[in-house]
Amino acid sequence: RLKQALLNLLSNAVKYNRAQGRIHLVVQTRQSERGARTRIGVADTGIGIAAERLNEVFQPFTRLLGEQSEIEGTGIGLTITKRLIELMGGEIGAESEVGAGSRFWVELPNASVQRPDDHSNVSPGAGTQVLPASDERRVLCIDDNPSNLKLMTQILGRRADLRLLAAHAPQLGIDLALAHRPHLILLDINMPGMDGYEVLAVLQRDPVTNRIPVIAITANALVSDIERGRAAGFRDYITKPIDVTAFLRVVEEALQYQR
């Protein structure tokens, strides 16, 4: 999740920078009344944001940086980043100066390091299943709609053996696929900038990802749409509204294929 949050911040720093601009990544550790914390800052030399509007950047579908440019975006990247960081017990903030650039930072509590000979660790709570790393199945969902990502989390979160990775933008999804090599990819078809077929083509061309099964999840439910999807190379084609039972069966079959 931290990787995903930093990819979002770095992506913005690249997109909204100026020609021959710079990006600075700074990591600082500090002590606070809440214990040791690490702050990671991403600063750019782009157009900047007016001080009176800075508090709007984390609101969904707000594109302050892209209002006066042709750069495409959904306006939810920073909203998702904020949510991810807060779920991990952290904070996120921003500083900016018009014409000079912006600096976004995330701050998280440091993890306590347990020594190998320390046997005082607390046993898992009732109902918690601890799995060997080799048994974990990684599922990447690429969808620009936050509601759809939330739905996938609710459906797949019931399985203790799955780890769901979420990407709200096509390029971020490709980056996460290359970095994490998931066992399965759930891919929306209708996305801005790069649709699902274009994303699938990129994944098929790369030797790192070309063997990962990809399932289309889309509202395009015509027979011709389904035929096109299967011809393009999707392992399966799920139409909305989703039949949860059938969807879970398709997911299980795809994961079994990867074992």
Residues 77-132 have pLDDT tens digits of 788 888 888 888 899 999 998 889 999 999 999 876 555 454 444 333 333 334 34
**Largest pairwise CA distance in the chain:** 61
Residues 33-59 have pLDDT tens digits of 778 899 999 999 998 888 888 878 887
Same domain, 197 and 229: yes
Same domain, 184 and 73: no
Same domain, 51 and 152: no
- Does the residue 232 lie in any domain? yes
Residues 180-195 have pLDDT tens digits of 899 999 999 999 889 9
| Helical axes 77-87 vs 146-156, angle rounded to 10° | 30
- Does the residue 127 lie in any domain? no
Same domain, 251 and 146: yes
What pLDDT sits at residue 74?
47
In this prediction the pTM is 0.54
- Does the residue 138 lie in any domain? yes
How far apart are the C-alpha atoms of 36 and 110, rounded to whole Å? Answer: 6
Whether pLDDT at 71 is above 70: no
Same domain, 198 and 252: yes
Q: How confident is residue 75, by pLDDT bands cut at 50, 70 and 90?
A: low
Same domain, 100 and 147: no
Same domain, 152 and 233: yes
* Per-residue CA distances from 200 to 59, 68, 84, 209, 211 (Å): 30, 31, 26, 10, 11
Same domain, 160 and 70: no
What is the rounded average pLDDT of the residues 138-156? 89
What pLDDT sits at residue 126?
36
Cis amide prior to 241 (ω within 30 degrees)? yes
Q: How many domains does the chain have?
A: 2
CATH number for the domain spanning 156: value is 3.40.50.2300
Per the structure, the complete domain to which residue 105 belongs is given by 2-109
CATH number for the domain spanning 31: value is 3.30.565.10
- Phi, psi values for residue 171, rounded to 5°: -65, -40
Same domain, 72 and 152: no
Q: Dihedral of the CA atoms 165, 166, 172, 176 (nearest 10)?
A: 10
